[in-house]
Amino acid sequence: MSHVITPASPATPPSPLSGLAWRLTRGLLSIACTLLGLAALTFFIGRLLPIDPVVAVIGDNASQQAYETMYRQLGLDRPLWQQFIDYVWHLLHLDFGTALTTSQPVLDDIARVFPATLELATVAAIIGVGLGIPAGVFAAMYRNTWFDHLIRFVGLLSYSTPHFWLGLMGLMLFYATLGWTGGPGRIDFIYEFDLQPVTGFWLIDSALSGNWAVFKNVFGHIILPASILGLSALAYISRMTRSFMIEQLSQEYIITARVKGLSWARCVWVHALRNIAVPVLTVVALSWAWLLEGAVLTETVFAWPGFGRYLTNALLAGDMNAVVGCTLLIGAIFVALNLLCDLLYRLFDPRTRQEHT
């Protein structure tokens, strides 16, 4: 008896939609695990700090009965693992608890102070990008010249000098001595009632209202802390841009373009710079996130009413609800920017799309 062997049907390739769904699911799981780890780490470290949250609420002179009542109200009488599970359950409902230092919901406090930090970090990022990318490109073009050595020295100086010291020296020189910039704070008191906050970004709000006197005053207050904060971004962006550009300038297509008669400037600013656009954009995005996180000391020196100062006060008071909320926000920003950079790589670099198919 003969047997008919039928050829095996070829395996159907996975559809693009299923691959996209799997990547999205994997990304969401990665975000959830990262934020859960941040919450756990911050929560348990906060419980180990030698700061009594009950005393932070009711003070040192409260009676023992008041102390025990508040101790139970804060849930500190329950096991630590149960406290953490209850806290995560509230986080899933976007309930970050009440800040002990302000007696307001943590989410409301963050919404109030975060625009000030976002505006400061954005201006600092504009300074870092506007000066860092051209400095890195020129340092690569004129490698091992005096300009290259100068850029590298400025980068080393910005990394090794504490920003709080630069802030104090900047206030002493540009505010107290020369009077070129505004002092501590976000605006002078006499202009505070003339500003009508709409977006939370006072430069934009004052410009939209057409009140250029207020705009000038707000700009005078933000330019010095933003310049000091942006110095670290300038150093990092220029260093990475220089490294990317040196690698590109050694490629064969640049040598071929030069042989064909293209000018050195066109090879650098058109062809090489276009090929490093995506990694430079990644560096810029991560630098912006680091500026949001690194604004703590700068805001403390300049009495800037932002996210960093709020986090510092919460740490000093042992307000772990506020600390965990701020930590989760910074973690979410970093994770979101990493996913955005990964998406940009896949959109603009065909090699990464081929690797993930």
- Residue ranges covered by each domain of the chain: 25-92, 106-319
Indicate the DSSP class of residue 172. Answer: I
pLDDT at residue 127, rounded to an integer: 92
Question: Among all chains, which residue has been given the structure tokens 């954009």?
Answer: 281
- Structurally, what CATH architecture does the domain formed by 106-319 represent? Orthogonal Bundle (1.10)
Q: How far apart are CA 24 and CA 239, in angstroms?
A: 33
* pLDDT averages per 10-residue partition of the chain, 357 residues: 50 54 74 80 74 70 77 77 82 81 86 90 91 90 88 83 85 88 85 80 86 89 90 88 88 81 80 84 85 79 86 80 82 79 70 52
pLDDT at residue 134, rounded to an integer: 92
Backbone angles phi, psi at 105, to 5 degrees: -55, 135
User: Which are the contacts of 42, defined by CB distance < 8 A and separation ≥ 6?
Assistant: 320, 323, 324, 327, 328
SS3 call for 148: helix
SS3 call for 351: helix
Let me know: does 288 contact 125? Beta carbons within 8 Å: yes
SS3 call for 105: strand
H or E element that contains 327: helix 320-348
User: CB-based burial of residue 225 (10 Å sphere; 0-12 exposed, 13-18 middle, 19+ buried)?
Assistant: buried
